[in-house]
Amino acid sequence: MIQSSQPQTEPILRLRGVSKNFGAVSALTDIELDIHPGEVVALVGDNGAGKSTLVKILAGVFQPSAGTIEYLGNPVSLSGPGKALELGIATVFQDLALCENLDVVANLFLGHELAPWQLDEVGMELRAWSLLRELAARIPSVRQPIASLSGGQRQTVAIARSLLLEPKIIMLDEPTAALGVAQTAEVLNLIERVRDRGLGVIIISHNMEDVRAVADRIVVLRLGRNNGVFTADTSHQDLVAAITGASENAVTRRQKSRAEGAATREAGL
Amino acid sequence: MTTPDPKTSSTLDRADSRVRNDDSFAGAWRGFIDRVRSGDLGMLPVMVGLVLISVVFTALNPVFLAPNNLVNLLFDCATVGVISLGIVCVLMLGEIDLSVGSMSGLASAIIGVLWVNTGMPLPVAIIAALATGAFVGFVYAIFYTRLGMPSFVATLAGLLALLGLQLYLLGATGSINLPFQSDLVRFGQTMIMPDWLSYLLAILPGAVIAITGWRTSQRRVAAGLSPLAMQIVFAKAIILTLALGFAVWYLSLGRGLPWMFALFVLIAVALNYGLTRTQWGRSMFAVGGNREAARRAGINVNRIYTSAFILCSTLAAAGGILGASRLASSSQQAGTGDVNLNAIAAAVIGGTSLFGGRGSAWSAVLGIIVIQAISNGLTLLNLSSSLRYMITGAVLAIAVIVDSLARRSRVSHGRA
């Protein structure tokens, strides 16, 4: 069932036996996860599978109850969001967390402005353009407020912002959830470009098509445990089976009943 | 699709053909109209208001535009104006300080008690008053950030408590007269700038705009960005210099430019620099616009709130000191009545949003001129204070309505 195709490089991030309990409930149990440079790892699972808990542990929001996290070969404790950022683990949250009243440059550099006592607007604008150009992002003007940007453009700004501090790993929580077809494609392209820069990318998504389109490995979580590692060419059925935990599940039953319905309609003709 | 003009697409920020670049005068005008239409009114309401007020009051009583009346107007502007600058800071975060009137009254009482009654040196009294302001602001910040008390309630409680403290300090007599020959009272009543200095100061803003504009433009070109539209920068500088030069000339027909107003403008310039050119100011806008986003960007949100509350109360205390020097007394009436609402109304009328994330120090300067012009004009008409309150209340209501309508329009035009 498990098809491993791990690259031969040293992983940037290595999780071993990570668990997280909320009182009597164990949200995560014995999670193993490796992230290599230049690799997109998709984290999939049903609601309540523990994806968000795992992301929050990596972002430093939660502390694990047990297990070790190794970063570049050294064991680390991610004691807070600042610590994770400092190490080079950047997170793009689902709601993006941009200030609509500020322009693109101000949002990119928020909290990390150049020259705090006499803002270097020219320097920041230049860096903003070169960053957006590296991502081949299509933002018409960096001096317009975020409020006037489309959902895909906002996602681009959020991703560009996470790259500003030169992280080693970037985590994207549902990056395509609110986007249209063309914008989704743009964001997927963006993710590939980030990967090509040699970063490790973790994406969380419910959209199997997006996941298969961009991920090098697909890590399935189920009820807080590892439930297999797949490659992008795994069939939809196998993935769904791993996510739901059975080949007989709501999705397959629905497909079956639809197929039967079609058959009876055909028979009726 | 039209191919982008090769000349303009050579710079990084002009590569996208979807953006219209308003470089010419016609373009600047078009951009201005677009902004106003989408609800980004900026200083427009306050300018229209000033012209309207001048026309109406001059028609009713020509004394209104007399140079000496305007000089008095500027003296009066400085006291509440300084308070209003602090209000801009808290409004920027979407919070409010309702106790600035009481705080200014308390500061004036502290000056009277420490300086006149106990005979301490004036600088000590002033520092004590400002420090009290800073402490009160710090307490509000603790209430807000640690105890989760809405600023509106915390400062409403402060309004009563500080008023009580002011009455307690002033004691049974209820009023302390400040010596007329002292520097403090002369500063608030008679001290006028020499003409040569006021002309020099009138030239300064235009010169600064032109020089910084030119230097920024050079740096942008060197960095591969498009240059600023220098014709527009120079036009702005020239118009501003002419307007200020005319104002100084007109005032010099009367007594001239008061030092107190110059101090007010100086504080406004400093605050404007802080808000627009420093990391602190950027953080203020960010927290006011989206608090959670600011927190996740690594900004210490509580520290920003604390700085704003402290700044607001300290400036309110400074306004109280100026008020005492203007009236030559510390009395139970200081800081009561419409001081609170005038300070808040001035900021809102000038274009600082009650909803946070938008505003500027200049809004307090222009707003307070409007408010004081109304009050001054009504006084000239010999109208009772009852009517004055009603009219000022109506003006505040209109300003807030304009603010929320403009905000709605901005949201639908993607300007937030």
CATH of the domain at B116: 1.10.3470
A155 token code pair: 């996602």
The answer, yes or no, to whether residue A97 has pLDDT greater than 90, is no
Same domain, B213 and B290: no
Same domain, B184 and B197: no
Give the per-residue pLDDT at A37: 92
Residue B290 lies inside a defined structural domain of this protein: yes
- Count CB-CB contacts under 10 A for residue B220: 20
Closest by Cα among A153, A155, A133, A146 to A203 = A155
Least Cα separation, residue B353 to chain A (angstroms): 12
User: What is the 8-class DSSP label of residue A145?
Assistant: B
B133 token code pair: 């302001």
Same domain, B253 and B218: yes
Confidence of residue A248 (pLDDT cuts 50, 70, 90): low
Over residues B240-264, mean pLDDT: 94
- Count CB-CB contacts under 10 A for residue B234: 15
Scanning A109-128 for CB atoms below 8 A from B yields 110-113, 116-119, 121-123, 125-126
Residue A27 lies inside a defined structural domain of this protein: yes
Q: Specify the DSSP element, H or E, that contains A53.
A: helix A51-58
Residue B267 lies inside a defined structural domain of this protein: yes
The answer, yes or no, to whether residue B414 has pLDDT greater than 80, is no
Closest by Cα among B325, B334, B317, B318 to B188 = B325
Same domain, B225 and B332: no
Same domain, B137 and B204: no
Find the CB nearest A99 among B18, B278, B289: B289
Residue A206 lies inside a defined structural domain of this protein: yes
Cβ separation A147–B223 shorter than 8 A? no
Same domain, B238 and B112: no
Domain end (from B205, B236, B257): B257
Scanning A129-188 for CB atoms below 8 A from B yields 129-130, 133, 138-143, 145-149
Confidence of residue A269 (pLDDT cuts 50, 70, 90): low
Same domain, B401 and B309: yes
Residue B161 lies inside a defined structural domain of this protein: yes
Residue A258 lies inside a defined structural domain of this protein: no
Same domain, B287 and B406: yes
Owning domain of residue A73: 13-234
Over residues A202-222, mean pLDDT: 90
For residue range B302-331, list pLDDT tens digits in order. 999 999 999 999 999 999 999 999 999 999
Confidence of residue A152 (pLDDT cuts 50, 70, 90): confident
**Cα B184 to Cα B182: distance, rounded to the nearest angstrom:** 5
Residue B21 lies inside a defined structural domain of this protein: no
Per residue in A82-116, is it b (16+ CB within 10 Å) or e — as a string?
eebbebbbbbbbeebbbbbbbbbbbbbbbbbbeee
The answer, yes or no, to whether residue B345 has pLDDT greater than 70, is yes
Angle, CA A30 vertex, CA A27 and CA A33 arms, to 5°: 105
Decide if B240 contacts B210 (C-beta within 8 A).
no
Confidence of residue A170 (pLDDT cuts 50, 70, 90): very high
Q: How much of chain B, in percent, has pLDDT values that exceed 90?
A: 64
Give the per-residue pLDDT at B306: 97
Burial of B108 (0-12, 13-18, 19+ CB in 10 A): buried
Give the per-residue pLDDT at A3: 44
Confidence of residue A151 (pLDDT cuts 50, 70, 90): confident
For residue range A217-228, list pLDDT tens digits in order. 999 999 888 888
Per-residue 3-state assignment (H helix, E strand, C coil) for chain B = CCCCCCCHHHCHHHCCCCCCCCCCHHHHHHHHHHHHHCCCCCCHHHHHHHHHHHHHHHHHCHHHHCHHHHHHHHHHHHHHHHHHHHHHHHHHCCCCCCCHHHHHHHHHHHHHHHHHHCCCCHHHHHHHHHHHHHHHHHHHHHHHHCCCCCHHHHHHHHHHHHHHHHHHHHCCCCEEECCCCCHHHHHHHCCECCHHHHHHHHHHHHHHHHHHHHHHHHHHHHCCCCCCCHHHHHHHHHHHHHHHHHHHHHHHHCCCCEHHHHHHHHHHHHHHHHHHHCHHHHHHHHHHHCHHHHHHCCCCHHHHHHHHHHHHHHHHHHHHHHHHHHHCEEECCCCCCCHHHHHHHHHHHCCCCCCCCCCCHHHHHHHHHHHHHHHHHHHHCCCCHHHHHHHHHHHHHHHHHHHHHHHHHHHHCCCC
**Cα B63 to Cα A199: distance, rounded to the nearest angstrom:** 72
For residue range A108-140, list pLDDT tens digits in order. 999 889 888 999 999 999 999 988 888 777 788
The answer, yes or no, to whether residue B297 has pLDDT greater than 50, is yes
Domain end (from B204, B224, B257): B257
Residue A26 lies inside a defined structural domain of this protein: yes
Identify the closest residue of chain B to A84 by CA–CA distance.
Answer: B298
Over residues A30-43, mean pLDDT: 92
Closest by Cα among B298, B304, B144, B20 to A112 = B298
Residue B298 lies inside a defined structural domain of this protein: yes
Half-sphere exposure for B253 (CA within 13 Å, toward CB): 11
Q: Specify the DSSP element, H or E, that contains A41.
A: strand A39-44
The answer, yes or no, to whether residue A8 has pLDDT greater than 70, is no
Residues of B within 8 A of A139 (CB-CB) are 16
Residues of A within 8 A of B215 (CB-CB) are none
A13 token code pair: 């991030």
The answer, yes or no, to whether residue A172 has pLDDT greater than 60, is yes
Owning domain of residue B216: 192-257
**Cα A113 to Cα B210: distance, rounded to the nearest angstrom:** 25
Residue B153 lies inside a defined structural domain of this protein: yes
Residue B23 lies inside a defined structural domain of this protein: no
Residue A141 lies inside a defined structural domain of this protein: yes
Q: How many domains does chain A have?
A: 1
Over residues A6-27, mean pLDDT: 85
- What integer best gives the mean pLDDT of chain B? 89
C-alpha distances out from residue B116 to A79, B36, B125, B178, B188, Å: 56, 52, 10, 7, 17
Closest by Cα among B77, B32, B75, B68 to B50 = B77
Q: How many domains does chain B have?
A: 2
Decide if B416 contacts B410 (C-beta within 8 A).
yes
Residues of B within 8 A of A116 (CB-CB) are 278-280
User: What is the 8-class DSSP label of residue A216?
Assistant: S
The answer, yes or no, to whether residue B240 has pLDDT greater than 70, is yes
**Cα A16 to Cα A32: distance, rounded to the nearest angstrom:** 5
Find the CB nearest B13 among A81, A142, A146: A142
The answer, yes or no, to whether residue B10 has pLDDT greater than 80, is no
Give the per-residue pLDDT at A177: 82
Per residue in B54-65, is it b (16+ CB within 10 Å) or e — as a string?
eeebeeeeeebe
Residues of B within 8 A of A143 (CB-CB) are 13
Strand partners for A226: A221
Cβ separation A110–B282 shorter than 8 A? yes
Decide if B160 contacts B335 (C-beta within 8 A).
no
State in Å, rounded, how far the first CA of chain B is from the last one. 29
Beginning with the edge strand found earlier in the chain, give each strand of the sheet holding A25-35 in spatial order. Answer: A25-35, A13-22, A66-71, A74-76
The answer, yes or no, to whether residue B279 has pLDDT greater than 50, is yes
Residues of B within 8 A of A113 (CB-CB) are 279, 282
**Cα A254 to Cα A260: distance, rounded to the nearest angstrom:** 10
**Cα B374 to Cα B346: distance, rounded to the nearest angstrom:** 11
Per the listing, tokens 């009603």 go with B390
Give residues with Cβ within 8 angstroms of A64, minimum separation 6: A18, A19, A20, A28, A57
Residue B62 lies inside a defined structural domain of this protein: yes
Same domain, B167 and B197: no
Same domain, B170 and B215: no
Identify the closest residue of chain A to B297 by CA–CA distance.
Answer: A111
**Cα B17 to Cα A255: distance, rounded to the nearest angstrom:** 47
Same domain, B275 and B249: no
Q: How much of chain B, in percent, has pLDDT values that exceed 70?
A: 96
Cβ separation A99–B286 shorter than 8 A? yes
Give the per-residue pLDDT at A102: 93
Residue A269 lies inside a defined structural domain of this protein: no
User: The domain spanning residue A202 has which CATH number?
Assistant: 3.40.50.300
- A257 touching B, CB under 8 A? no
Residues of A within 8 A of B411 (CB-CB) are 147
**Cα B377 to Cα A61: distance, rounded to the nearest angstrom:** 58
**Cα B393 to Cα A51: distance, rounded to the nearest angstrom:** 54
ipTM surpassing 0.90, yes or no?
Answer: no
Beginning with the edge strand found earlier in the chain, give each strand of the sheet holding A169-173 in spatial order. Answer: A89-92, A169-173, A200-204, A39-44, A217-222, A225-231
Same domain, B270 and B302: yes
Half-sphere exposure for A78 (CA within 13 Å, toward CB): 29
